[in-house]
Structure formats: structure tokens, C-alpha cells
Amino acid sequence: MWQSRTVDSSLVTGILAVVFGLIVGSFLNVCIVRIPEGKSIVWPASACPKCGAAIRPYDNIPVVSYLLLRGKCRGCQTAISRIYPAVELLTAVLFWGCYRMFGPTPEAVKWAVFSAVMVVLVFTDLRERILPDMVNYPGLAAGLGFSLFIPPGDGTALWMANRLFGYFPPPRAASFAEALLGAALGGGLLWLVSEVYFRLRKREGMGLGDVKMMLMTGAFFGAKRTLLTIFAGSLLGSLLGIAFILARRKGSNYELPFGTFLGLAALLVVFFGTPVVNWYQSLLMAR
């Protein structure tokens, strides 16, 4: 009896996570379209970009409306971008994943917030090559704020304090230091790469948006998973970038959405990063 009740309640919470993810995803779509244009994300209500008809509440149900309308505006039959249902589905999957991975905990909330921020950046960079300050700065503040209550669980800053200064900081200070170190490392490394690229090629290869994005990501992850994100994002970018350039034949001037790759890597690292970091550390220890 007890057994079946726990199964039921976790199923219900899982479904709630999916529904909440779909609703948040719908709001993230608004952010993705309007923030790069400098428009308000709360007003006015959504309208068809072609015919200007207001989108009615019953045509605004995440994913379901897209399917019922067969991907077309009810008024003018203009195709609705597939990015909308994709963002809603992706957010739902990520929220469900956070719940499955971390249970009904504050930690799940932290990673759901991070996932939502990353979804916005992945798609603004893909669509417009923009990683807006209006997303990066509040994200950085959230990452640092969360670290006061939910430790990044990294240990690099604590280890440095112990080894270099013989200092054992109180847990909350140590946790905040992990976030600061992660931010400094993420932002610093990307800044360094962009500087080197600029000096060598005499043109901007990477905007400050990527630097700020990794500053924010570092505050959530701490040092180790930030390094893993940069490594995985670069690898992903190189592989997909080469494939894309070969397929499209756009030449070497085609600007790759590096923020999109970093964002996808960061989302993978949320769910699969810790075992990879532990495995790599065990390799170093074994030597």
C-alpha cells in the first residue's frame, strides 16, 4: 500500500514538472523573441508577426495548439516557427530531468532555473547571434545567490584555501567562493581565448556575450564542471561547425553560434557532468 502510494506521488510530481516546464517554455519563447529586440517580455500579449491577429488563449496552449493548428496561424495560415514547440518540449524535458535527478528539492529548483536561462541563450544565439546582458547578468546574480544556500559541490576553492593559506572557511563562505572561482575561471578563460583570437586574426571571433555567459555558468557550476562545459562546448562546436560548413558550403566567414554550443554543453553537464569529472579525477589520482 505504502509502496504504491509513493510511486503514484512521484508520478504525479513528474507530470507536474512536465506541465510546469511546458508553461515556462512558452514564456521562454517570448523571452527568446523579444529580449534581443529590446521589447518588454510582459506586454503586449502575443500576436501573429504576419497578420497581427492577437493569439487567443486557447491557441496559446504549449505544443498542443501548435499540433491542433498544424503549425499555422488561425487567421492568415502563415507557418509558425518550429522553434516554439521545440523550446516548450525541451524545457519540459529539462524540468522533468531536474526532478528525476534531484528529487523535489531546492537543488532541483536551482538547476531548473539554470536550464531555463540556458534555453533562452541557446536560442537567442542560434537565431540572432546575441547572448543578451538582460539574461546573463540576472543569471550571474542567481548563480551567486543560489551558492549561498545550495553549494556548487566543487571543492576547488576549499582545497585552495586549505593548501595555499591553511585556512578553513565556514561552509557558506566556502560555497560562495566556489561560485566566484567558477565564474572567474569561466569568464576569464573565454576572455583570454577571445583576446588571443583577436590578436591573431585581427577581427572579433567571439563577443563579450560568450564571456559573460561563462561567467554566469561558472557561478552555478564551480570550477570543474565549468572547465568541462568549455571543453565539451568547443568540441561540439568544432564537430557540428565543420559538418555544417561542409553541408552548406558557406565558407569560413560563416559565424558559428558558439553560445549555442556552450549552452547545450552546459545542459548536458547539469545531468552527466559529475560522473565525468569524478572519472577524470580518478584518472589523475591513479597516476
Helices 208-221 and 171-201: crossing angle in degrees, nearest 10, is 160
Toward Zn ion, which CB reaches closer, 50 or 250? 50
Interface size with Zn ion, residues (CB under 5 A): 7
Alpha carbon 140 to its chain centroid, in Å, reads: 12
Under rule CB under 5 A, residue 76 binds Zn ion = yes
Toward Zn ion, which CB reaches closer, 76 or 242? 76
Q: How far apart are CA 40 and CA 33, in angstroms?
A: 10
Residues 6+ apart with CB under 8 A from 33: none
CB of 271 to Zn ion, least distance (A): 38
Is 159:174 a contact under the CB 8 Å cutoff? no
- Answer for which of 19, 48, 101, 180 binds Zn ion (CB under 5 A) is 48
CB of 71 to Zn ion, least distance (A): 12
Alpha carbon 145 to its chain centroid, in Å, reads: 17
Here's the x/- map for Zn ion, 203-242, by CB under 5 A: it reads as: ----------------------------------------
Under rule CB under 5 A, residue 72 binds Zn ion = no
- Percentages helix, strand, coil for the chain, rounded to the nearest 5? 75, 0, 25
CB of 54 to Zn ion, least distance (A): 10
Under rule CB under 5 A, residue 55 binds Zn ion = no
Toward Zn ion, which CB reaches closer, 39 or 50? 50
Per DSSP, what are the bridge partners of residue 47?
54
Under rule CB under 5 A, residue 50 binds Zn ion = yes
CB of 73 to Zn ion, least distance (A): 3
Number of helices and strands in the chain (H, E): 10, 0
Q: How far apart are CA 134 and CA 228, in angstroms?
A: 25
CB of 49 to Zn ion, least distance (A): 8
Residues that bind Zn ion (CB under 5 A): 48, 50-51, 73, 75-76, 78
